[in-house]
Amino acid sequence: MKRVFVLSAPSGTGKTTMAARLKQEVPGLFIPVTYTTKNPRPEEVEGRDYHFVSREKFLEMIRLGEFLEWAEVYGNCYGTPRKEVEEQLKLGRKVLLTIDTQGGLSVRRIFPQAFLVGLLPPSLAEQEGRIRKRSGLSEKEIRQRIEAARIERRVLKEEYDIRLVNRNLETTLEKIKKIITGK
């Protein structure tokens, strides 16, 4: 039985929304809160959305081996707390990691049995529109995200166990719930 699941999606595809719904609707599913060096958006809450730390603190955590995986994305660092994930797996819980494709491939090396789910946008135009709606992004940052999304789509297609096009949130949510629960 699979117990480690990865959900990866290019920017603007709905990964965060999907993870929040899965947390609500799949009993016992553990989703660790990621550490990041980015500044919080106005709607983001410490401990719920991320653990916001300084770059110095993040680098110290890397040095101490506190991350299962970590990456620098768009100039900010993101890391999955190793201890929390290991504790939940020891308790027999299923773990969902909502991370980028770089992190997903790192997790696959640590947990070869991990099941990697890729979420794709309904169209490239819709994805770009979602990215552009994000508050506070400069045109340069928008272009970086669009280029990164192109690379991530290729990794999802070549390396992930399944790819789902997120045309309809409810339909896609049900498919991912079935993958995780086996029902």
Most confident of 4-13, 35-44, 60-69, 134-143: 60-69
pLDDT per position as a tens digit, 43-64: 899 999 999 999 999 999 999 9
Which pLDDT value is given to residue 85?
A: 96
pTM of the model: 0.88
**pLDDT reading at 1 higher than 70:** no
Taking residue 92's Cβ as centre, other Cβ atoms within 10 Å add up to: 9
Which residues does 94 contact at the CB level (< 8 Å), separation at least 6? 2, 3, 4, 5, 26, 28, 29, 30, 180
How far, in Å, are 35, 88, 139, 166 from residue 76 at the CA level?
A: 10, 27, 17, 26
Q: Contacts for 71-75 with beta carbons within 8 Å, 24 or more apart?
A: 71/99, 71/100, 71/102, 71/103, 71/106, 73/100, 73/102, 73/148, 74/38, 74/141, 74/144, 74/145, 74/148
Cα-based distances in Å from 160 to 14, 52, 61, 183: 17, 29, 28, 21
Higher-scoring residue by pLDDT: 141, 174? 174
Averaged pLDDT score across all residues of the chain: 91
SS3 content of the chain, % helix, strand, coil (to 5): 45, 20, 35
Write the pLDDT tens digit of every residue in 123-172: 778 877 877 776 677 888 888 888 888 888 899 999 999 999 998 999 99
Q: Domain of 133: which CATH number?
A: 3.40.50.300
Provide the number of structural domains found in the chain.
1
Averaged pLDDT, 114-123: 92
Higher pLDDT among residues 132 and 177, named by residue: 177
Range of the domain at 126: 4-181
Proportion of the chain above pLDDT 90, given as a percent: 68
Amino acid at 156: L
pLDDT for 28 beyond 80? yes
Is pLDDT at 6 greater than 80 in this prediction? yes
